Amino acid sequence: MTALTTDQVQSIEERYPQIFRRPAYKRFAPLFLFGGILLYLVYALWFFDLPQVMRDSHWERLPLFLTQWISYDLQPEFRLDQPEITPKYPRFSALGENPDPDWVVKNADGTFTVLIDGAARSVTFDKTKATIVANGEMVPVALTSGKPVITGPVPGWITAHDDEIVARMGFVGEVRVTVDRVKVRKRFLGWANFVFDTRSPFFGKSASEVISLIWSGPELKPGTSNVALAGDNIWNNAQWQHGDVWTKLLQTIVMAFLGTLLGGLVAFPLAFFAARNITPSGLFGQVLKRFFDFMRSVDMLIWALFFTRAFGPGPLAGSAAIFFTEIGTLGKIYSESLENIDDKPREGIKSTGANGLLVQRYGVMPEVIPVFISQTLYQWESNTRGATIIGAVGAGGIGLKLWEAMRTNSNWANVFYMVLLILLVVFVFDNISNFLRRRLSRTIHDYNRMQAEEG
């Protein structure tokens, strides 16, 4: 292989100047692009004041929220200024109306011991003193001087205020001691009373006992079988509200399906008039395209706010919001698909003398219908997620239920339960949509191959 001479190299450069003599802006385009992105990121960092935002964020709340998603706590309180020390539990406690947990122990000498994490973390107290045990340390607290006083050094896991001692024991809970009360927070993994609430006759029974009662036990409610009673108790669980949550979830699914279906039915004929290669009037087609742009430019959330004012909160407002958004979205997608069809089948039908309707039916529809269905399925899948968001502004469905649970700022386990249900529904619908779109893609491929063979 011989090397090229200088004249040969120069000749090649003259024949292909677009390769060897590219303008400077083309040669340095990647560098300019990288520099522009870097400058934009620096600008965004300054504009949003991200360092200050990161400093002011309450990161300590994150582990608290996460633990509340997957656990629950019980909070017995002991009044020391009463004649007799007795535990008091919050109203609607997960332990039921007459709680008697084995981790609250009344000792023979009249003191109480609360086992927060077995004997390793506990508090023992009477009206004059308390002893907190954790992390291998035993901390005595005197209660006779008008305020709680720790005898000896204060460990790092205890905070001593003027009128209160707070002992934080990590995930398992905490203890708060004042001169007139001891309050304990004990945390458990899991979701309390997820199946049966405290009103149910099945509450507090083991799984084997419940199965035995359902299978062969005596009727717990006269005139109602134990199977029906158990189902009713689960569905109407007052704490977890399974019936209401699943009903709202079904509303969300129906909202997404109905809004997408109606939007597709309206957008389908309008797309033919908007497509420039099909409509006889260019002006009318442009008007329809601007109409699609308007319907799309108003976000689904804005439509939801509008219709909740018009119809009131509920799934009708949500369905209408999705319907109006999908007219614009699907109308644009359908019309662009029509504008990109192969004109040969249509011209072939025209050559037979068929009228305009038959030309669209046999020359256009077989080519675009699989594409229309595929795009509609994708929008249906996307709207299933979107229906959850618009529900939070009053448009019905599980989004409204989720927002109500979040507003209390104390019911994060229920929030996580609904989030998991939403994720499950999105996962299922995503797989159904992907499966149907794959089948449609094969249909399109087979149709194109058949057309090529016939041609």
pLDDT value at position 352? 73
Question: What span, in angstroms and rounded, lies between the C-alpha atoms of 206 and 189?
Answer: 17
Task: Give this prediction's pTM.
Answer: 0.78
Identify the weakest region by mean pLDDT among 14-23, 336-345, 371-380: 14-23
pLDDT confidence tier of residue 98, bands split at 50, 70 and 90: confident
> How high is the mean pLDDT of the chain?
86
b/e map 312-328, b = 16+ CB within 10 Å: ebbbbbbbbbbbbbbbb
Copy the structure tokens of residue 226.
């134990």
pLDDT confidence tier of residue 1, bands split at 50, 70 and 90: low
CA 54 to chain CA centroid, Å, is: 24
Residue 9 has pLDDT above 70, yes or no: no
Per-residue pLDDT tens digits for 305-330:
999 888 888 888 999 999 999 999 99
Residue 212 has pLDDT above 70, yes or no: yes
Whole-number CA gyration radius for the chain: 35
Copy the structure tokens of residue 202.
């099945």
- Helices 365-390 and 412-454 pack at an angle, to 10 degrees, of 170
Residue 381 has pLDDT above 70, yes or no: yes
How many percent of the chain have pLDDT more than 70? 92
pLDDT value at position 20? 61
pLDDT value at position 267? 93
- Taking alpha carbons only, the member of 206, 198, 191, 189 closest to residue 238 is 198
pLDDT confidence tier of residue 455, bands split at 50, 70 and 90: low
Per-residue pLDDT tens digits for 385-432:
888 888 888 888 888 888 888 887 668 899 999 999 988 988 888 888
Question: What domains appear along the chain, each with residue ranges and CATH number?
Answer: 69-189 (no CATH), 242-454 (1.10.3720.10)
What separation in angstroms does the CA of 165 have from each of 148, 154, 174, 176, 389?
7, 10, 10, 6, 43
pLDDT value at position 13? 65
Residue, of 20 and 131, whose pLDDT is higher? 131
Which residue type does 233 have? N
Mean pLDDT of 226-246: 92
